[in-house]
Chain A
Amino acid sequence: MPKDFSSNAPIYVQIMNEVKLKIVSGGWEPGQRLQSVRELAVEFSVNPNTMQRALSELERDGLLYTERTAGRYVSQDKTKISKARDEMAEEYTDSYYNSMIRLGYGKEDIVGIVSGKSGIKRRKENEQVNRD
């Protein structure tokens, strides 16, 4: 099922995020061979050129690589993948944090809400919050 794309960001950027999510979450495993551009375009319901562009950008970022003639694969570099995961986590955290601030919550409230939800140690939460 395709995702609904938000209106203001280029579609290729949104596909990049979807694909990144698959890679960093392990949905697509390191070294796994990707389907063809055409098949992925159908899966995501987007233009094949748009799909191609998203994959090329991810290749530039090192999350994908192409073997001459054999196809395109997920990177086997686990450090790189875990770094990409951290970056995404940071983006999500920023966005959550900023939304909560806009809603009028303070840092303490946010920490309380998150630790109540996930049971993550409060110390870790504080680190995250302080970094912002």
Chain B
Amino acid sequence: MSRLIEINSLQKRYGAKTVLENISLSFESGTIAGILGPNGSGKTSIMKILAGIIKDYDGEVLIDGSAPNEYTKSIVSYLPEKTYLAEGNKAKYALDFFEDFYTDFDRSKAEEMFRQFKLDPEQKIKSMSKGMQEKVQLILVMSRKTKVYLLDEPLGGLDPASRKAMLDIILNNYSEDAVVLLSTHLISDVERIFDRIIMVGDKKIIVDDSVDNIRQSTGKSVEELFEEVFKC
């Protein structure tokens, strides 16, 4: 177990609006953590900062000891909230692209998952359903053997059966000494795969605990606790 992610007194503003205020968090290897929070709570901002996409923040962010830079990008596999695959291309080109770009990309593993989920590499991205596109992206991201996986809302467009399949992809493929951070609002479906829950709201960390501690101490599921904490 080593500390892979360390965030100290992180602050993020968009213009005059503060979205994250004095956030401190750290993650050890071997963790699958859920980042939960209502819309606009700063989940995506945390992900983007860790991914090295947002650079103007205050505070300290370290991934495997380094502030986000070329090295950390090489050990972070990031699934953005919005699709980034070139729509006009066949899925096959996305495989080529990942293979060219990432030395840790296991193409045969990705192709095997394509077969498993009946995805056709010859099909154009734009002719795929939203659910199929999400599957393609998650397969690409999880086929990298790396230290940090950042999955921003990977389950949004999927039906319940596909969600289960996606969770299996994540459980089957993450490296055991890695950190997986997954943001979602579909809590009940996924809380069983987390060992730690971070609830973000009102710019701060409101809850940071293990799923079983939450259940043991509150007698509630994570979803029930979430609804209570963020009651409108």
> Interface residues, chain A, CB within 8 Å of chain B?
2, 5, 7-13, 38, 41-42, 45-50, 53
Contact = CB atoms under 8 A, between A and B. Distances in A.
Contacts of A50: 192, 195, 211-212
Given A38-B176, A42-B168, A50-B211, 19 more contacts: A2-B192, A8-B220, A8-B221, A10-B212, A11-B212, A11-B215, A13-B212, A42-B171, A45-B164, A45-B168, A45-B171, A45-B193, A47-B171, A47-B193, A47-B194, A47-B195, A48-B176, A49-B31, A49-B195
Interface of B is mostly: helix
A7 B215 contact: yes
Contacts of B167: 45
Chain B interface size range = 20 to 34
B30 A49 contact: yes
Nearest to A49: B195
Interface in B150-173: 164, 167-168, 171-172
B197 to A, nearest CB: 11
Nearest to B216: A10
Nearest to B30: A49
Given A10-B216, A38-B176, A46 B223 contact: no
Nearest to A9: B215
A8 B219 contact: yes
Contacts of B36: none
Contacts of A45: 164, 167-168, 171, 192-193
Interface in B206-231: 211-212, 215-216, 219-221, 223-224
B46 interface: no
Contacts of A41: 171
A45 B32 CA distance: 13
Given A45-B164, A47-B192, A47-B194, A7 B221 contact: yes
A46 B30 contact: no
B212 A5 contact: no
19 contacts: A2-B192, A5-B192, A7-B215, A7-B220, A7-B221, A8-B220, A10-B215, A11-B215, A38-B171, A38-B172, A42-B171, A45-B167, A45-B171, A45-B192, A45-B193, A46-B193, A47-B192, A49-B30, A49-B31
A48 B172 CA distance: 10
Nearest to A54: B212
A114 B208 CA distance: 47
A50 B192 CA distance: 9
A51 B211 CA distance: 13
A57 to B, nearest CB: 11
Contacts of B219: 8
A7 B194 contact: no
B192 A46 contact: yes
Given A8-B219, A11-B215, A12-B212, A42 B172 contact: yes
Nearest to B224: A7
Contact of A7 (B30, B176, B216, B223): B223
A50 B197 CA distance: 13
A56 B222 CA distance: 24
Nearest to A13: B212
A53 B212 CA distance: 11
Contacts of B211: 10-11, 47, 50
Most buried by A among B164, B171, B193: B171
B48 to A, nearest CB: 25
